[in-house]
Amino acid sequence: MNWPKHLKARVRQREPLKKHTSFRIGGPAKFFIEPHGLSSLKFLLSILKRYNVPPLLIGSGSNLLVNDKGVDAAVLHLSSPYFRRIVFKGGFLEAGAGVMLSRVISEAKRRGLSGAEFLAGIPGTVGGALAMNAGISEVHSSQLTVHSVGDLVGKVRIMDHNGNIRILDKKQIKFGYRKSSLAKYIILSARLRLVKKNKEEIENKIKGYIFRRRSTQDLKHYSAGCVFKNPEGESAGKLIDLCGLKGRGIGRAKVSFKHANFIINTGGATARDVLRLMSLIRKRVREKFNIDLEPEIKIWQ
Ligand code: EPU
């Protein structure tokens, strides 16, 4: 495949995806491409269509398991400065798909804008977080509350796979538990609605979320965060824990001692190790509780 000289993008061939996933697992991508801006992204999609190479989007790779053989696809990474812009207009924040959530939080805090604090510590990009409606659940006086990035959305700018750009209003987007109708598009940027608040209050909220994450989650090892979705009214981590699976390993993949819904890569784990461990967990939870756990992480088979 010959790439046109005037395509403004960084193209790498057979790029190991383990370099781009928080699991540090995954074989090579046929192509790994970082387009410079909108016109190069559109041009790129037309080339890929012509050569029949499917595009796959990657954000920070923090919720992703890539198979050991790699993918026969073009992995698109929106990491150029164009996709990493943040603009503030009144109570709105407009962020490119490639902006890390940590930057959204710190820039909002600097301006005394509140609403995004619950995203503190989630190692994702704006695009990835919107595609999977990232969020958290917390219990307040025995009431379970779920906060998701979809709650903050005003409008989202997307490109479809034919290169057409559209601005979608919140009403045109469906957000569910760890899913959204945006996943079928290429998310370009999002407008998030925030409210003015005292900076100290914002700072304290952020600290609280980070403290909770550090004290309950295994952040010392390579992982993809929670592996399974929480079944309705239940906690996947608790169910796996009750099956006595903490510390259970297959190959170099192991169920974390700190949080049972985390599978960690203890060094050199393969996707096969993780998938076999996931099957074992599902089997045990099914046998003991008659509940079928559904993966939360994206799997590129
Ligand atoms: N628990 C156990 N054993 C464990 C883990 C948890 O008994 O090994 C119990 C806890 O004691 C608690 C309950 O299970 O009573 C819930 O645990 P936790 O508070 O850790 O929250 P979670 O439901 O496991 C969810 C999200 C996390 C998010 C946290 C923090 C899902 C699948 N997980 O976890 O998201 O960070 O709330 O609000 O929705 C992720 O998406 O990757 C992720 C980690």
Span 201-231, pLDDT tens digits: 999 999 999 999 999 999 999 999 999 999 9
Q: How far apart are CA 103 and CA 126, in angstroms?
A: 10
Strand order from edge to edge, sheet including 253-255: 222-226, 262-265, 253-255, 249-250
Select from 229, 48, 204, 200 the least CA-distant residue to 137: 229
Give the confidence band of 137 by pLDDT, cuts at 50, 70, 90. confident
Confidence check: pLDDT of 139 > 80: no
Span 157-172, pLDDT tens digits: 999 999 999 999 999 9
pLDDT value of position 22: 98
Mean pLDDT of 175-199: 96
Residue 241 beta carbon below 6 angstroms from any ligand 1 atom: yes
Residue 238 beta carbon below 6 angstroms from any ligand 1 atom: yes
CA of 272 to the centre of ligand 1 (A): 25
Which atom number of ligand 1 is nearest to the Cα of residue 225?
42
Of all helices (H) and strands (E), which one includes residue 32? Answer: strand 28-35
Residue closest via CA to ligand 1's atom 32 equals 229
Which atom number of ligand 1 is nearest to the Cα of residue 121?
36
Q: Please give the structure tokens belonging to residue 39.
A: 């016109």
> 281: helix, coil or strand?
helix
Which atom number of ligand 1 is nearest to the Cα of residue 260?
8
pLDDT value of position 158: 98
pLDDT value of position 297: 97
Do the Cβ atoms of 44 and 9 come closer than 8 Å? yes
CA of 208 to the centre of ligand 1 (A): 15
pLDDT value of position 165: 98
Give the residues across from 16 on adjacent strands: 28
Give the confidence band of 142 by pLDDT, cuts at 50, 70, 90. confident
CA of 103 to the centre of ligand 1 (A): 24
CA of 234 to the centre of ligand 1 (A): 10
Span 230-276, pLDDT tens digits: 998 899 999 999 999 999 999 999 999 999 999 999 999 999 999 99
Give the confidence band of 33 by pLDDT, cuts at 50, 70, 90. very high
Phi/psi at 156 (5° precision)? -130, 130
Residue 226 beta carbon below 6 angstroms from any ligand 1 atom: yes
Give the residue, 1 or 196, on which the prediction is more confident.
196
Confidence check: pLDDT of 152 > 80: yes
Mean pLDDT of 97-113: 97
CA of 3 to the centre of ligand 1 (A): 45
The dihedral formed by the CA atoms of 291, 294, 295 and 298, expressed in degrees to the nearest 10: 180
226, 243, 293, 296: residue to mutate for ligand 1 pocket, most atoms within 8 A of CB:
226
- Strand duo 55-58 + 71-77: pairing: parallel
Mean pLDDT of 103-112: 96
Span 34-87, pLDDT tens digits: 999 999 999 999 999 999 999 999 999 999 999 999 999 999 999 999 999 999
Mean pLDDT of 267-293: 98
Contacts of 26 (CB under 8 A, 6+ apart): 16, 17, 18, 20, 64, 65, 66, 67, 68, 70, 271, 300
Residue closest via CA to ligand 1's atom 24 equals 237
Do the Cβ atoms of 185 and 130 come closer than 8 Å? no
Residue 259 beta carbon below 6 angstroms from any ligand 1 atom: yes
Give the confidence band of 140 by pLDDT, cuts at 50, 70, 90. confident
Confidence check: pLDDT of 104 > 90: yes
- DSSP, res 295: B
Residue 135 beta carbon below 6 angstroms from any ligand 1 atom: no
Q: Measure the N-to-C terminal CA separation of the chain; round to a whole number of Å.
A: 24
Q: pLDDT > 90: what percent of the chain? A: 92
To the nearest whole number, what is the mean pLDDT of the chain? 96
Q: 3-state DSSP: the chain helix, strand, coil percent, rounded to 5?
A: 30, 35, 35
Mean pLDDT of 131-142: 86
Cβ neighbours of 274 (radius 10 Å): 28
**143: Cα separation from own chain's centroid:** 26
Q: How far apart are CA 93 and CA 113, in angstroms?
A: 9
Which atom number of ligand 1 is nearest to the Cα of residue 259?
8
